[in-house]
């Protein structure tokens, strides 16, 4: 271990328990929830194996009035939930780490779509997330009952074996709804003054400590700034006052920012490493209790600086612990160069928002620990050494080479360009996406450590060249190209845009003249990022989309609001709900997506961002020659970088197997059915 990093491995006392080091995996969603306890336990156990001193669950509902279906959440509604959660506590303890559980009530944030019971909130208010329902106001008896739910859930968590039990007052959930004057207009002892609005949080801490504080630490997760200015909780105002008021009550403060989950887990496109520090740095000066916060920490030097400067006592992490569950162990063993750094793309957040299990661009094994038996640091060696040629060094090709190389294959990588990286080389030059180059850098670095891998950039290969090479198996990772025919998500067919450019042209240095119109029918980052880049270069830009918002899919990565705000501030004209009909020499014709009413817009340069098609020209000739060949990544199915990396990793794991691997599913026992 580098002596400069030794401070990160000091034990820290948290009330009645002691963390073995300062690495703290803060609560984060996995999409696995109460329905998949074995998968959840395996995922958290992997974090503990990787050296995280504290490993916490995702949000765990304390009562059926807090139902977040269809999203994956845990439950401690009754004693029958204890055994399932004990699997997670045991998996964490198996590696000497502390197990934390985040007890949760969403208040007006809970949809209760599964339980169909009325939602509760400080006041009568519409349910959040634009659902056509209303949460009812809690009266005094409701509050008393609610406190009992928290206490009962804490006792069940203790029986399940957890060491740290949370009172969750962040992200606009029920205790925070009581705290904030924006959502609490009550006139009783739980409303009005800040002391009254903080009463429920104080009582929850006291109740939880009374129930389990003899052997379990009680943590409070608090949003110290909801980013709504003086109308809400701010780190300069009431957020600070709440910490002062309750400073010594909990055993640990887990502090962040709120307003929306996207603020707390802001992508790298819109925030640097450690971006929350200006909001949370004051907390340690007001309490003697340990403090943890997050900020997408990936650099050991930044981590050490956070501790030495007194910002926090632990290095809190959600996304970096997903990208590399073994980050702490690599630092301890002097292998910091091998850390698989989070790129801040928020594909993990997209998975949660889509109500599916976790995924990560950098770590294709996340959430596959139980389902497929994948380990992020170990992979089975091939029973027989094989000679494999991989063509293409984009994200899929690099992942395949690394995984196959680790399996013991004799791997050759041929890349027609002079540099490795494929699409990453282009996309990482877009505004805010510089961290994406880590996908290339980490894999290239780790490949360089393998003696059984040869890399040849600047090597364009024909089908004849590939056949002559004589590999036992050929893997095509030749990527994709953007479409020129305008076919996109809205299904535009057979139109001709002879003068239009595509993103590939822009990256190749095509000349852009006159007013630029970007037609985005793909809806992820590319259209908005190109609009931002060209606007910054001084072009007048009009962004057109059939959807209602710019880069609409980025709502799932919690970025859409930031994208639209930045484009508007840059002076980009956004024309939503229109499809592209025709291009003339100096104009385009658009049609309303609903009425079909057509309008004309001036246009000097039209850029189509609609869809991609595989570059698989080599595949059919190789098959005809009898070459054993497979396609992976965008060459098989154009998609996100995360999907390309996963495709390659799954191929490498299954390579040499006689049958297609089966995905295990967790199924409840069915009695009386044969």
Catalogue the active-site residues.
Answer: 173
Q: What is the number of other CB atoms lying within 10 angstroms of the CB of residue 161? A: 18
The Cβ-side half-sphere exposure at 277, using a 13 Å CA radius, reads 17
State the Cα–Cα distance between residues 525 and 558, nearest whole angstrom.
12
Question: b or e along 304-316 (b: 16 or more beta carbons within 10 Å of the residue's beta carbon)?
Answer: bebbeeebbbbbb
Terminal alpha carbon distance of the chain: 56
Give the SS3 label for residue 123.
Answer: coil
Strand partners, 415: 457
Residue whose entry in the numeric block shows the structure tokens 């328990």 = 17
Phi, psi of 389 (to 5 degrees): -110, 125
In 3D, which of 604, 422, 399 has the Cα closest to residue 510? 604
Residue whose entry in the numeric block shows the structure tokens 């036992």 = 472
Orientation of helix 82-93 relative to helix 37-49, angle to 10°:
20
CB 573 within 8 Å of CB 516: no
Residue whose entry in the numeric block shows the structure tokens 């009695």 = 671
Residue 119 in tokens: 């939602």
CB 133 within 8 Å of CB 127: yes
State the Cα–Cα distance between residues 390 and 369, nearest whole angstrom.
26
Instruction: Give residues with Cβ within 8 angstroms of 140, minimum separation 6.
Output: 188
Please report which helix (H) or strand (E) contains residue 174, including its range: helix 174-179
Instruction: Give residues with Cβ within 8 angstroms of 189, minimum separation 6.
Output: 196, 199
Phi, psi of 170 (to 5 degrees): -130, 180
In 3D, which of 108, 104, 114 has the Cα closest to residue 134? 108
Q: What is the number of other CB atoms lying within 10 angstroms of the CB of residue 658? A: 5
Q: What secondary structure letter does DSSP report for 544?
A: E
State the Cα–Cα distance between residues 544 and 321, nearest whole angstrom.
38
Residue whose entry in the numeric block shows the structure tokens 């993990």 = 348
State the Cα–Cα distance between residues 113 and 672, nearest whole angstrom.
29
Orientation of helix 438-447 relative to helix 395-406, angle to 10°:
30
Q: What secondary structure letter does DSSP report for 501?
A: B
Q: What secondary structure letter does DSSP report for 30?
A: -
In 3D, which of 603, 427, 644, 638 has the Cα closest to residue 530? 427
In 3D, which of 659, 655, 660 has the Cα closest to residue 384? 655
In 3D, which of 434, 437, 412 has the Cα closest to residue 422? 437
Give the SS3 label for residue 659.
Answer: coil
CB 482 within 8 Å of CB 519: no
Residue 481 in tokens: 């190209």
State the Cα–Cα distance between residues 490 and 548, nearest whole angstrom.
13
Residue whose entry in the numeric block shows the structure tokens 């054993």 = 628
């Amino acid at each position: 271990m580098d002596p400069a990093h030794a401070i990160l491995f000091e034990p820290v006392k948290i009330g009645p328990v002691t963390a073995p080091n300062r690495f703290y995996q803060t609560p984060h969603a996995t999409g696995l929830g109460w329905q998949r306890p074995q998968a959840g336990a395996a995922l958290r156990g992997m974090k503990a194996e990787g050296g995280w001193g504290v490993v916490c669950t995702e949000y765990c509902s304390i009562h059926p009035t807090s139902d977040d279906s269809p999203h994956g959440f845990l439950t401690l509604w009754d004693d029958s939930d204890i055994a399932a959660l004990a699997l997670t506590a045991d998996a964490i303890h198996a590696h000497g780490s502390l197990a934390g559980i985040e007890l949760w009530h969403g208040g007006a944030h809970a949809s209760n779509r599964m339980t169909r019971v009325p939602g509760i909130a400080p006041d009568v208010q519409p349910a959040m997330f634009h659902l056509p329902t209303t949460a009812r106001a809690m009266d005094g008896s409701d509050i008393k009952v609610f406190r009992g739910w928290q206490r009962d859930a804490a006792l069940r968590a203790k029986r399940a074996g957890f060491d740290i039990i949370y009172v969750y007052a962040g992200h606009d959930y029920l205790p925070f709804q009581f705290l904030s004057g924006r959502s609490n207009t009550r006139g009783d002892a739980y409303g009005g003054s800040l002391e009254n609005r903080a009463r429920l949080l104080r009582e929850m801490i006291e109740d939880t400590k009374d129930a389990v504080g003899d052997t379990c630490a009680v943590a409070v997760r608090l949003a110290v700034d909801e980013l709504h200015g003086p109308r809400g909780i701010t780190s300069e105002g009431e957020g600070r006052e709440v910490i002062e008021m309750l400073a010594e009550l909990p055993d640990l403060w887990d502090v962040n920012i709120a307003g929306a989950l996207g603020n707390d887990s802001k992508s790298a496109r819109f925030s640097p490493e450690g971006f929350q520090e200006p909001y949370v740095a004051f907390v340690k000066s007001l309490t003697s209790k340990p403090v943890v916060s997050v900020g997408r920490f990936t650099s050991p030097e930044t981590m050490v600086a956070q501790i030495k400067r007194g910002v926090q006592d632990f290095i809190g992490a959600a996304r970096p612990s997903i990208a590399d569950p073994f980050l702490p162990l690599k630092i301890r063993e002097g292998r910091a160069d091998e850390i698989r750094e989070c790129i801040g793309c928020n594909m993990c957040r997209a998975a949660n928002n889509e109500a599916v299990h976790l995924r990560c661009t950098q770590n294709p094994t996340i959430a596959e620990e139980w389902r497929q038996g994948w380990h992020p640091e170990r992979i089975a060696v091939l029973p027989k050494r094989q000679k494999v040629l991989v063509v293409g060094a984009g994200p899929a090709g690099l992942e395949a080479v690394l995984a196959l190389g680790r399996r013991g294959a004799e791997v050759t990588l041929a890349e027609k360009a002079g540099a490795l990286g494929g699409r990453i080389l282009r996309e990482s030059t877009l505004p805010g996406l510089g961290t994406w180059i880590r996908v290339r850098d980490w894999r290239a670095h780790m490949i360089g450590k393998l003696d059984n891998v040869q890399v040849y950039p600047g090597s364009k290969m024909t089908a004849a060249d590939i056949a002559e090479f004589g590999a036992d198996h050929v893997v095509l990772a030749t990527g994709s190209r953007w479409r020129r025919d305008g076919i996109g998500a809205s299904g535009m067919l057979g139109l001709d845009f002879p003068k239009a450019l595509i993103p590939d042209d822009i990256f190749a240095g095509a000349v852009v003249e006159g007013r630029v119109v970007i037609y985005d029918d793909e809806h992820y980052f590319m259209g908005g990022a190109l609009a931002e880049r060209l606007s910054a270069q001084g072009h007048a830009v009009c962004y057109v989309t059939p959807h209602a918002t710019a880069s609409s899919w980025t709502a799932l990565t919690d970025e859409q609001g930031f994208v639209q705000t930045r484009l508007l501030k840059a002076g980009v004209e956004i024309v939503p709900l229109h499809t592209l009909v025709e291009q003339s020499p100096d104009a385009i014709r658009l049609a309303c997506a609903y009425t079909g009413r057509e309008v004309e817009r001036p246009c000097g340069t039209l850029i189509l961002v609609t869809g991609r098609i595989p570059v698989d020209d080599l595949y059919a000739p190789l098959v005809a020659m009898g070459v054993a060949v497979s396609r992976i990544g965008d060459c098989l199915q154009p998609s996100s970088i995360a999907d390309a990396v996963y495709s390659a990793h799954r191929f490498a794991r299954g390579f040499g197997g006689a049958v297609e691997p089966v995905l295990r599913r967790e199924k409840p026992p069915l009695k009386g059915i044969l």
